[in-house]
A = this chain, B = another copy of it.
Amino acid sequence: MAVIVQKYGGTSVGSVERIGNVAQRVARSWKEGHKVAVVVSAMAGETNRLIQLVHHTCEHPNMREYDVVVSTGEQVTIGLTAIALEAAGIPAESFMAHQIRIITDSIHSKARILDIESSRLKASLENGKVAVIAGFQGLDANGDITTLGRGGSDLTAVAIAAALNADVCEIYTDVEGVFTTDPNICSNARKIDRISYDEMLEMASLGAKVLQTRSVEFAKKYSVPVHVLSSFVDKEGTYVVKEEPAMEQVFVSSVTYNKDEAKVSLRKVPDRPGVAARIFSPLAEAEIVVDMIIQNTSREGFTDLTFTVPKTELSRALEIIRPTAEEMKVAEVLTDEHISKVSIIGLGMKTHAGVAAKMFETLSQEGINIQMISTSEIKISCVIQEKYTELAVRALHDAFRLGEEGGAVGQEKG
Q: Which residues of A contact B (CB under 8 A)?
A: 16, 19-20, 50, 53-54, 56-58, 61-62, 64-69, 71-72, 75-76, 78-80, 82-84, 86-87, 92-94, 96, 98-99, 120, 143-145
CA–CA, A178 and B120, complex, Å: 47
* CB–CB B50/A65 < 8 A: no
Which residues of chain B come closer than 8 Å to A144, judged between CB atoms? 99
How many identical subunits does the complex contain?
2
Q: How far is the CA of A268 from the CA of B79 in the complex (A)?
A: 50
Q: Which of B68, B78, B84 contacts A68 (CB 8 A)?
A: B78
List the B side residues contacting A86 at CB < 8 Å.
58, 61-62, 65
Given A16-B57, A57-B20, A79–B83 Cβ distance below 8 Å? Answer: no
Q: Is the CB–CB distance between B69 and A99 below 8 Å?
A: no
- A98 to B98 alpha-carbon distance, docked (Å): 8
Most buried by B among A54, A66, A94: A94
Query: In the complex, are the beta carbons of A69 and B58 less than 8 A apart?
Result: no
Q: Is the CB of B79 within 8 A of A68?
A: yes
Q: How far is the CB of A60 from chain B (nearest CB, A)?
A: 8
In the bound complex, do residue A62 and residue B83 qualify as a contact, i.e. CB atoms below 8 Å apart? yes
**A80: nearest residue on chain B (CB-CB)?**
B57
Say whether B58 contacts A79, CB under 8 Å.
no
Do the beta carbons of A83 and B66 come within 8 Å of each other? yes
Given A53-B80, A64-B93, A75-B75, 18 more A-B residue pairs with CB atoms under 8 Å apart are: A16-B53, A16-B57, A54-B83, A57-B83, A57-B84, A58-B86, A61-B86, A61-B87, A62-B82, A64-B82, A64-B94, A65-B78, A65-B79, A65-B86, A66-B79, A68-B96, A69-B76, A98-B98
> Could you tell me the distance in whole angstroms from the C-beta of A143 to the nearest C-beta in chain B?
5
Q: Shortest beta-carbon distance, A138 to chain B, in Å?
A: 14
How near does chain B come to A132, taking the closest CB pair, in angstroms? 9
Does the CB pair B76–A58 fall under 8 Å? Answer: no
* Known contacts A69-B76, A75-B68, A143-B99; A57 and B94 CB within 8 A of each other: no
Residue of B nearest to A71 (CB): B75
Closest 8 CB pairs of A and B: A69-B79, A68-B79, A58-B87, A72-B72, A65-B82, A62-B86, A65-B79, A61-B83
Q: Which of A57, A67, A75 has the most CB of B within 10 A?
A: A57
Q: In whole Å, how far is A318's beta carbon from the nearest beta carbon of chain B?
A: 28
- A53 contacts which chain B residues (CB < 8 A)? 16, 76, 80
